[in-house]
Every structure is written in C-alpha cells, then in structure tokens.
Amino acid sequence: MTDKLILDGARVAESIKDELKAKIEALSAQGIIPCLATILIGEDPASETYVRMKGNACKRLGITSRRIHLDKATSTEELIAVISQLNEDPLVHGILLQHPVPHQIDERAAFEAISIHKDVDGVTALGFAQNAFGYADYPSCTPAAIMAILDYYRIPIEGKHAVIIGRSPILGKPVSLMLLNRNATVTICHSKTLNLADMVGLADIIVAAVGKPKFIQGNWLRSGAVVLDAGYNAGNVGDVDYEACLLKASAITPVPAGVGPVTIAMLLKHTVAAAEKLALH
C-alpha cells in the first residue's frame, strides 16, 4: 500500500449491520426478537454514555435493549443474583456488564456468573479459553472489531509481526491470541516492557490498547506499519499520536470513528448470533 489508508470504522460497522438486517428479519418471522441486557452500576458518566450508545444502536436495528441500572452500593451477591435471573430468561440472548464496576464488587466473579451462551462480550474465562483455541462463538468485542477491520480492508496478517501494547484480559490478550491464530508473529508489550519504542519499531501491525492519550509516538513506527488504535481518552483522542503516526503508517484507524463503532457492531452481531442459536433449539 503506497497511499495512506484511513481505516474507516463507521464504514466497517455499517457493512456488519447491513448483514444483520436480514438475519433479524428472519428471526422476527419466527417470533424471536434478539435482546441484549445491559447492566450498569452507579452513575459513571462515561459508562452511562457507552450504555446509551449501545442501546441506540440496538434500537436502530430492531434489537431489544433491556437496561438494568443498579445502585452504586450493589454487592457482588446482589449483582450475581441479577445476572442469574438474566441467564434464566429465555427472552434475553446477550448479557453485557458495563465495566468498570464499583470497588466493592468482585468483577471477575460477576463476569464468571454470565452464561457462556449469553457472554456476547467475551468476558468469561471459558470464552477467553475458547478464543485461545480459535473456536469462540463470541470473542471479546474490541478484539473482534480489530480483526474485522483488518479483514474488511484485506490487510495481510499471516507472517506479519504484530505488536500489542496492553495486556488486559478483554483486549490486549485476546487480540494477541486472535492474531496468533491467524499466523501472525505476536509480541505483547505492557507497562514493564523495556525499550518499548524499539519493540514498536519492529511491528508490521500495531494495536494500541494502553489507555494513555497520544502515548504511541510517530517516530517509534517503522515506515508502512498498520496502526489500530483501540484507545479512547478524554478529548476524543486515542492511544496514538494520530497526526505523527499518520506520517509513517500505511494504514491507521482514526479516533473517533475507528475501532469504536465496529466494537458496538460486533456486540450486536454476537447478540443476533445468540438469538439464532436459540432458534435452532
């Protein structure tokens, strides 16, 4: 690729949603309306915004969005009881626990309470393990979005060196495994990595998932690298210095309108797929 390629996440998301419309219509004909239940705890403004965006995306496609808003003092036991009810509800196909959760809640215990059949955000340990082996029905949505962008733009993965900056269990680690399963050579970097800039300079594909605004510098990149910015920080900026990295990259995701819209589209795709599985039983 000789020209700069802006990886337009909004375009990728629309293509995914277009494919879902016929599937939703087919389910509707059987009396099944895909339903995503979102659980929000407390009053975190950013989390409220994310939940609202997901709800609006559901509504536009004809997916039911069931919002459960719990008090910030909710205990782990109370949250798990709510999740258990949703697990048993045949009208709910996907469960999304918006994180971060308040400090008194054992987030991992709450995630593990979600049924694997409704874990459309890929947060359970079993879902992670299935992703590692390459057969997860619902891998974590942001990693799935990154792979969808690479595939949409037909960016080669096999044999390429991918450097992931960040090792969270729902982003850095799963996307590393997905790239590895597609025959990339993968290096995972994190807060303890020495000579990070040198590591990034070896990459054909860079995934920034560190949660620090404009952290990845343009002069770290090798010429022609592909940059996927999975960060979103205050001021509508990602984890890479976009203008500087644009000078060196052959392809790059903007922030906003990059990975974010595709993440939501993957959540909807997984919810529809979960409803389709129910329709077969």
- 8 DSSP assignment: -
Sheet holding 94-97, edge to edge: 64-70, 35-41, 94-97
121 is catalytic: yes
Those residues whose C-beta lies under 8 Å from the C-beta of residue 219, and which sit 6 or more positions away, are 197, 244, 248
Residue 152 CA, chain-centre distance (Å), reads 16
d(CA 87, CA 41): 18
Buried b (16+ CB within 10 A) or exposed e, 79-90: bbebbeebbeee
The three-state (H, E, C) secondary structure of 155-216, written as one string: CCCCCCEEEEECCCCCCHHHHHHHHHHCCCEEEEECCCCCCHHHHHCCCCEEEECCCCCCCE
Looking at 54, 118, 248, 269, which residue is catalytic? 54
> Is residue 130 annotated as part of the catalytic site, yes or no?
no
Residue 54 C-beta-side C-alpha neighbours within 13 Å: 30
Answer yes or no: are the C-beta atoms of 171 and 142 closer than 8 Å.
Answer: yes
> What distance in Å separates the CA atoms of residue 239 and residue 216, rounded to the nearest whole number?
6
Taking the CB of residue 185, how many other CB atoms lie within 10 A of it?
A: 16
Annotation marks residue 98 as catalytic: yes
**Active-site entry in 8, 17, 98, 160:** 98
| Tokens 């009053």 -> residue | 43
Check if the beta carbon of residue 51 is closer than 8 Å to that of residue 67.
yes
Among the listed residues 119, 121, 229, 239, the single catalytic one is 121
Q: Give yes or no for a contact between 253 and 7, defined as CB atoms under 8 angstroms apart.
A: yes
Report, as residue numbers or ranges, the catalytic residues: 54, 98, 121
